[in-house]
């Protein structure tokens, strides 16, 4: 057993506790949370004390691309469609071994930042393998691509084969899902096919959606840089006369079950109503949106509509790091409000709120210890003193006792 005492404990779903403690049972779940005087110290339990720090639930990063960790600082391009093409070229020049090393480094970077759960999208499978190998927690969404309707069967077969290959790696802690990438990289028939596949196999689904003005131009009017790039490849482009959110509703993608929509910058009230009724979770990535000049997603409107929304750092090529506290500051959040968004709200967006996201007896013992100043705005440091997943310290030091 492990007992952690700190200057304050922040359960998130209950008021903060001064001079509090958390007791972790041998099964990796939280046994007790409360004031130091009220939390037992069983014989033989390891104990550690942080009098000038805070204990919080482990942070939840709702959108990462951990296989791209090695590309930090490698893409100065800012125009979005050209930026995407540059990323593809850099990935094509990366070996499988480099992807594995990159993903593992990304997981460890997350632990250093107090992140205990990630929702990662990628095309190589390396993030899922790294999560499983290191005993991390997360959902890995295997990406599917194919903008040409004529390639639907081949693209679907490739995605299904990847899911079969990765299936033995997945577990209750490291889950596997699918991600038909985005409206500019996935055809209408492929969207329908992947959504059907996800429903049939009970797989969580994630999609980049309503991220850029260029995406809206493509879907609504069949114009813009994405449309031009597709036509240059001989791929037909159709103007659908609706928003990207309405488009994916029509294709059955948003109603596929456990669906995560990433970005959702270019949305209106009609789109918000669709997302709410479809019970879609959102990943809000303000620093990435700012870096690519996409605009500002309406976070206040998401929350007012009751849409579950968490924060994500996107790839380090966009945001620079996996500092979720910086993401919260970019979203205009601080203190307990930021903490709630980074924990229980992120867990709710992923459908994991019954397991993680708050410090409650019976929940998984995913937690982090930070300097007390982390709740200031902006926090002077996002480095965790201790990070614990399912009761196991994965970052920081606990002396032997």
The whole-number average pLDDT for the span 32-38 is: 98
Please write the tens of the pLDDT for every residue from 38-64. Answer: 999 999 999 999 999 999 999 999 999
In sequence order, what are the residues at sequence separation of 6 or more whose Cβ sits closer than 8 angstroms to the Cβ of residue 157?
A: none
Place 400 in a pLDDT band, splitting at 50, 70 and 90: low
pLDDT value at residue 329: 93
Please write the tens of the pLDDT for every residue from 124-151. Answer: 999 999 999 999 999 999 999 999 999 9
76 has pLDDT over 70: no
pLDDT value at residue 95: 95
Do 120 and 66 contact (CB within 8 A), yes or no?
yes
74 has pLDDT over 90: no
Q: How far apart are CA 338 and CA 341, in angstroms?
A: 5
| Mean pLDDT estimate for the chain | 95
Place 75 in a pLDDT band, splitting at 50, 70 and 90: low
pLDDT value at residue 85: 84
Please write the tens of the pLDDT for every residue from 334-353. Answer: 999 999 999 999 999 999 99
The whole-number average pLDDT for the span 251-255 is: 94
Q: How far apart are CA 322 and CA 136, in angstroms?
A: 16
> Which carries the bigger pLDDT value, residue 401 or residue 135?
135
pLDDT value at residue 140: 98
The whole-number average pLDDT for the span 234-260 is: 94
The whole-number average pLDDT for the span 255-262 is: 88
End-to-end CA distance of the chain: 12
79 has pLDDT over 90: no
Going along the chain from its start, the domains and CATH numbers come out as 2-58+359-396 (2.30.40.10), 59-349 (3.20.20.140)
355 has pLDDT over 80: yes
pLDDT above 70 covers a percentage of the chain that reads 97
The whole-number average pLDDT for the span 177-190 is: 98
pLDDT value at residue 320: 87
Report the side by side order of strands in the sheet with 309-311.
59-64, 115-122, 138-144, 174-180, 205-209, 259-263, 281-284, 309-311
The whole-number average pLDDT for the span 63-71 is: 96
Do 342 and 59 contact (CB within 8 A), yes or no?
yes
DSSP string, 1-31: -EEEEEEEE--SSS--EEEEEEEE-TTSBEE
pLDDT value at residue 371: 93
pLDDT value at residue 398: 77
pTM as predicted: 0.96
Place 304 in a pLDDT band, splitting at 50, 70 and 90: very high
6 has pLDDT over 90: yes
Report the side by side order of strands in the sheet with 392-396.
30-35, 17-24, 2-9, 46-57, 367-371, 386-389, 392-396
401 has pLDDT over 80: no
256 has pLDDT over 80: no
């Amino acid at each position: 057993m492990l007992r952690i005492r700190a200057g304050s404990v922040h359960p998130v779903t209950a008021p903060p506790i001064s001079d509090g403690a958390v007791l972790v049972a041998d099964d990796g779940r939280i046994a007790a949370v409360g004031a130091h005087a009220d939390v037992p110290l069983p014989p033989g339990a390891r104990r550690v004390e942080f009098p000038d720090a805070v204990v919080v639930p482990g942070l939840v990063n709702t959108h990462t691309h951990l296989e791209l960790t090695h590309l930090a600082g490698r893409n100065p391009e800012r125009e979005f469609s050209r930026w995407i093409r540059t990323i593809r070229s850099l990935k094509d020049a990366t070996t499988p071994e480099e992807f594995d090393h990159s993903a593992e480094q990304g997981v460890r970077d997350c632990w250093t930042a107090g992140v205990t759960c990630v929702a990662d999208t990628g095309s190589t499978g390396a993030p899922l393998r790294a999560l499983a190998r290191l005993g991390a927690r997360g959902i890995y969404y295997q990406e599917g691509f194919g903008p040409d309707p004529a390639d639907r069967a081949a693209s679907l077969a490739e995605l299904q084969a990847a899911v079969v290959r990765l299936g033995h790696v997945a577990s209750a802690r490291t889950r596997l899902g699918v991600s038909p990438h985005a409206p500019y990289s996935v055809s209408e028939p492929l969207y329908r096919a992947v959504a059907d596949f996800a429903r049939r196999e009970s797989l969580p689904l994630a999609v980049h959606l309503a991220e850029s003005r260029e995406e809206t131009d493509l879907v609504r009017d069949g114009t813009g840089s994405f449309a031009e790039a597709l036509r240059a490849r001989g791929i037909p482009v159709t103007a659908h006369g609706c928003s990207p959110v309405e488009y994916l509703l029509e294709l059955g993608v948003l109603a596929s079950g456990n669906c995560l929509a990433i970005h959702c910058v270019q949305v209106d009230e009609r789109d918000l109503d669709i997302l709410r009724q479809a019970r879609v979770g959102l990943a809000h990535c303000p620093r990435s949106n700012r870096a690519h000049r996409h605009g500002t997603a309406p976070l206040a409107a998401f929350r007012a509509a009751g849409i579950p929304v968490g924060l994500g750092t996107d790839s380090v090529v966009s945001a620079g790091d996996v500092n979720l506290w910086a993401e919260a500051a970019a979203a205009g959040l601080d203190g307990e409000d930021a903490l709630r968004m980074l924990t229980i709200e992120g867990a709710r967006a992923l459908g994991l709120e019954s397991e993680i996201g708050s410090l409650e007896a019976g929940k998984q013992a995913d937690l982090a210890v930070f300097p007390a100043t982390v709740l200031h705005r902006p926090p002077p440091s996002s480095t965790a003193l201790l990070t614990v997943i399912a009761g196991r310290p994965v970052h920081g030091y606990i002396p032997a006792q």
